[in-house]
Copies of this chain bind each other. A is one copy, B any other.
């Protein structure tokens, strides 16, 4: 049937068209069906929506993406088209049937090509949340995610990488691990994310020092030239399926396990990593409540790595407190840079960075890919690179290669000029420290959009505070955001101080 085109200039990220209910009935079509739209020399499959008001009978409403494909025509022919095969495969997962490699690849390709509606992608993620893929299916999913995007091939090996599964605030360790590892002579093409619900992802931090948006080719070139990079993965076309899925995962506040494994490993596979160290923070508020949970995930990540030919080493790390004493982009960069310059800093940051870098220095040796440090000697080797200033010189090289200012000093990093202290209401010990609240306060102060906003932590769990001593200093670039963050912190204190006597049980006669 022919329809008159009524173009709506609305971008919706999909090929979508609208028909009037009367016409849809006549054609026996319903919302969510696929239609083949044909104009002179062009044809495309679009998702059908149905309206009683937006378009009249005889008209077809097109949105920007579909309209651009069809071009400036007055009429198009509409016929019924089958739903993507993926919809049936998603139904198979719901029915707890196993999928074949081809079926999984088709789902991933349809996600990348925007062939699935929001409703269908939501069903895919929900299904996978409730029904894990087995390890074979997860391998196929990972390979499909790698193959449907850009891949980086290095001539030199080994190529190593580091990933944190997240969940602990202030985790600026990549700013130390990448230059230590690159200074050792290994290649480390690190891509990372921006914060979605956090106070700052590694990309938000690195962006203070240098641009972070590079193509796959640029990532390869910079890594080959200086040994490492700290780039934003979102600017590349690496594992593009993940970018489409993250939106729905966020909306549903779910992170289906098999998909999470595949998303992590596909990014590592696509940059050509031979070996990867996984930072797995364990503790309340992280993704891994107990070491037992951590071990189960470690086993699955190692198994998936083996299937892909990537040596994975998992490091369960302490996730109970922030790493270092800063949360928020500029504060975190200042802390990391100070440590690289030899100015010292929190033990938690130093220990964790050296431990993770040390594993990567050993990993080539263990995997027979060329030795930097023997087993058990990686951390000491990493420490030497940090102490010698080699790691700092390497970060400067990386900053310059990414187009930043190589003369930058930690003292140059500007933090929010509006500051407020949260004081200890009584003297005693920090008996409770809430990571999530710290992140909320940093966000309330403006992080990560305001890079100068964040929280400086004076007292961590177990430490002694005198009455009136500052527990936190909040920084913000705007006075009203500082005020909002201060109000948030005082209304619901993230740090609880108590004397050693927690409660006195009264005598009977006093009740």
Contacts and interface: CB of A to CB of B under 8 A. Distances in A.
Nearest to A83: B253
A254 B124 CA distance: 13
Contacts of A252: 32, 87, 91, 119-120, 123
Contacts of A125: 123
Contact of A449 (B10, B25, B31, B117): B25
A130 interface: yes
B32 A247 contact: yes
Interface in A79-94: 83, 87, 91, 94
Contact of A10 (B10, B118, B121): B10
A30 interface: yes
Contacts of A253: 83, 87, 91
A357 to B, nearest CB: 31
A51 interface: yes
Residue of A25, A130, A196 with most chain B CB atoms under a 10 A cut-off: A130
A236 B83 CA distance: 31
Copies in the complex: 2
Given A117-B251, A253-B87, A129 B30 contact: no
B126 A10 contact: no
Contacts of A449: 25-28
Contacts of A94: 126, 129-130, 254
Contacts of A31: 247, 250-251
A30 B246 CA distance: 11
A252 B83 CA distance: 10
A334 to B, nearest CB: 22
A127 interface: yes
A444 to B, nearest CB: 9
A353 to B, nearest CB: 28
Nearest to A443: B28
B120 A118 contact: no
A113 interface: no
Contacts of A120: 122, 251-252
Interface in A5-43: 8, 10-11, 25-28, 30-32
A131 interface: yes
A125 B471 CA distance: 47
A378 B131 CA distance: 48
Contacts of A51: 11
A248 interface: yes
Nearest to A128: B126
Nearest to A117: B251
Nearest to A23: B449
A119 B32 CA distance: 13
- With most chain B CB atoms within 10 A of its CB, the pick from A27, A28, A125, A450 is A28
A53 interface: yes
Contact of A119 (B27, B91, B119): B119
Contacts of A54: 10-11
A485 B32 CA distance: 24
Interface in A420-466: 443, 448-450
A196 B30 contact: yes
Contacts of A11: 51, 53-54
Nearest to A25: B449
Contacts of A121: 119
Contacts of A248: 32, 119
Contact of A122 (B25, B119, B250, B450): B119
Nearest to A129: B94
A449 B26 CA distance: 5
A67 to B, nearest CB: 14
Interface in A360-381: none
A220 to B, nearest CB: 27
Contacts of A25: 448-449
Contacts of A129: 94
Given A122-B126, A123-B125, 15 more contacts: A11-B51, A11-B53, A26-B450, A30-B247, A32-B252, A83-B253, A87-B252, A118-B122, A119-B121, A119-B122, A119-B252, A122-B122, A123-B126, A123-B254, A126-B126
10 contacts: A11-B53, A32-B247, A87-B252, A91-B252, A94-B126, A122-B123, A123-B252, A126-B127, A126-B130, A127-B130
> Which 5 A/B pairs are nearest by Cβ-Cβ distance?
A32-B251, A122-B122, A126-B126, A119-B122, A123-B126
Interface of A: 8, 10-11, 25-28, 30-32, 51, 53-54, 83, 87, 91, 94, 117-123, 125-127, 129-131, 196, 247-248, 250-254, 443, 448-450
